[in-house]
């Protein structure tokens, strides 16, 4: 098959920096990674091979079993951070600066008395970190969930991997349903997410299907795939090249390739090589 890659794809600087910190840490067996470092099973295997202790995202409420705790690129709330410190843990912080920026924006408006509408996936680790210090807030993951709130001042912030067009739609709904309120929008989609979204929009016009490389829990991976769906072409998510199934591509000659921000360059390369080896489908016969 002919493979066309998105202009911007794969690992962002936030994840790259977190991985570099992890790879340079001495004595990994003395460190517990607090949740998934990134939503990428290949990286998870690497952590295990190096001897890191890991807490899955569901286990993060339990006490870590080592003296040092690595905070992932998705960040944690100040409340969670202080709790760990008060329990005597030494923290190694790999929170992405762009996640910190969202926390700062949310707390700024919250402290001024605004009600926060947080656009994001409920239960997602970044959203939990963001809302962990808030009292007066709601998380919405679909525009239909936006209600009329009994508040005079509302601030809208979003998970860093929210699609820019979705942010606009949520904002419109908040304004429309809350004409009594002053509504502030702080668009906190990060630049790497924007670049990958813009690139995939260009890409889906040129291909017959799309492969997105990324973990099952990765929000930005899902968002990339949904662009293909909106454009009316099929898409498949794989975490590794081994997950590709040739029968998916029976009717496809030209396939697009992109990857979520947690995906390593090596995994993208392996998937590209494997796709090129798949024989063109029925349409080229
Ligand atoms: S996706 Fe954006 S916010 Fe998240 S780690 Fe990467 S650069 Fe940072």
Which one of 185, 202, 233 terminates a domain?
A: 185
Q: Are residues 69 and 108 in the same domain?
A: no
Indicate which atom in ligand 1 lies nearest the CA of residue 15: 5
The CATH number given to whatever domain includes residue 23 is: 3.40.50.11270
Taking residue 253's Cβ as centre, other Cβ atoms within 10 Å add up to: 16
pLDDT of residue 285: 36
If you measure from the C-alpha of residue 12 to the centroid of ligand 1, how many angstroms do you get, rounded to a whole number? 6
Q: What is the pLDDT of residue 134?
A: 98
List of residues 6+ apart from 53 with CB closer than 8 A: 29, 31, 32, 33, 64, 65, 66
Q: Which two structure tokens, joined as six digits, stand for 60? A: 């993060």
pLDDT of residue 283: 43
Q: What's the rounded mean pLDDT across residues 91-114?
A: 97
Q: Which of 59, 85, 90, 126 is catalytic?
A: 126
In the 8-state DSSP scheme, what is residue 243?
G
> What is the rounded distance in angstroms from the CA atom of residue 253 to the CA atom of residue 249?
8
Q: Which atom of ligand 1 is nearest to the CA of 161?
A: 1
Helix axes 219-231, 191-204, angle to 10 degrees: 30
Residues 73 and 129 in one domain: no
Residue 39 has pLDDT above 90, yes or no: no
- Average pLDDT over the chain, rounded to whole? 93
Question: Which residues, in sequence order, are bridge partners of residue 5?
Answer: 257
**Mean pLDDT lowest among 17-31, 130-144, 214-228:** 214-228
Residues 258-282 have a mean pLDDT of: 91
Report the distance separating Cα 271 and Cα 39, nearest Å: 17
φ/ψ (deg, to 5) at 254: -120, 115
Count of domains forming the chain? 3
Tell me what the mean pLDDT of segment 178-191 comes to.
96
Model confidence, pTM: 0.87
Of 59, 78, 96, the position where a domain reaches its end is 96
Q: Is 73 close to ligand 1, i.e. is its CB under 6 Å away? A: yes
Residue 4 has pLDDT above 50, yes or no: yes
Q: What share of the chain is helix, strand, coil (3-state, %, to 5)?
A: 45, 20, 40
Note the pLDDT of residue 37.
80
Does residue 284 carry a pLDDT above 70?
no
Same domain flag for 150 and 163: yes
Strands, E, within 59-217: which ranges?
A: 68-71, 90-93, 115-119, 137-140, 153-158, 182-185, 209-213
pLDDT score, position 76? 96
Q: How does 192-216 read in b/e, with b if 16+ C-beta sit within 10 Å?
A: bbebbbebbbebbeebbbbbbbbbe
Domain's final residue, options 43, 74, 96? 96
For residues 145 and 104, is the Cβ–Cβ distance under 8 A?
no
Q: What is the mean pLDDT of residues 22-27?
A: 94
Residues 91 and 116 in one domain: no
Does ligand 1 lie within 6 Å of residue 11's CB atom? Answer: no
- Are residues 171 and 197 located together in one domain of the fold? no
Q: How far is CA 238 from the centre of its chain?
A: 15
Active-site residue flag, 126: yes
The answer to whether the CB of 227 falls within 8 A of the CB of 260 is: no
In this structure, what DSSP letter does residue 238 have? E
Element (H, E) at 223: helix 219-231
Give the domain extent around 151.
98-185
pLDDT of the residue at 281: 60
State mean pLDDT over 137-146. Answer: 98
pLDDT tens string 53-68: 998 878 888 889 999 9
12 CB near ligand 1 (under 6 Å): yes
Q: What pLDDT, on the 0 to 100 scale, is given for residue 44?
A: 84
Res. 38: pLDDT tops 80 = no
| pLDDT > 70 in the chain, percent | 98
């Amino acid at each position: 098959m002919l493979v066309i890659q998105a202009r911007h794809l794969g690992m962002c600087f936030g994840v790259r920096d977190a991985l570099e910190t992890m790879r340079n840490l001495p004595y990994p067996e003395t460190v517990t990674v607090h949740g998934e470092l990134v939503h990428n099973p290949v990286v998870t295997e690497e952590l295990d091979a190096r001897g890191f202790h890991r807490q899955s995202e569901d286990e993060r409420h339990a006490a870590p079993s080592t003296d040092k705790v690595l905070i992932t690129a998705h960040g944690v709330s100040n409340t969670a951070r202080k709790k760990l410190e008060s329990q005597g843990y030494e923290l190694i912080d790999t929170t992405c600066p762009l996640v910190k920026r969202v926390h700062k924006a949310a707390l700024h408006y919250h402290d001024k008395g605004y009600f926060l509408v947080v656009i994001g996936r409920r239960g997602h680790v970044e959203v939990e970190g963001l809302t962990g210090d808030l009292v007066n807030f709601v998380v919405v993951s679909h525009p239909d969930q936006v209600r009329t709130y009994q508040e005079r001042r509302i601030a809208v912030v979003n998970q860093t991997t929210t699609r820019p067009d979705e942010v606009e739609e949520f904002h419109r709904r908040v304004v429309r349903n809350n004409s009594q309120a002053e509504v502030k929008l702080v668009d906190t989609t990060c630049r790497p997410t924007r670049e990958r979204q813009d690139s995939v929009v260009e890409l889906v016009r040129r291909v017959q299907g799309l492969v997105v490389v990324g973990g099952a829990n990765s929000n930005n991976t899902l968002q990339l795939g949904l662009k293909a769906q909106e454009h009316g072409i099929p898409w498949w998510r794989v975490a590794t090249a081994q997950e590709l199934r040739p029968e998916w591509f029976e009717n496809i000659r030209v396939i697009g390739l992109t990857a979520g921000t947690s995906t390593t360059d090596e995994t993208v390369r392996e998937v590209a090589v494997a796709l090129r080896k798949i024989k063109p489908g029925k349409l080229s016969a």
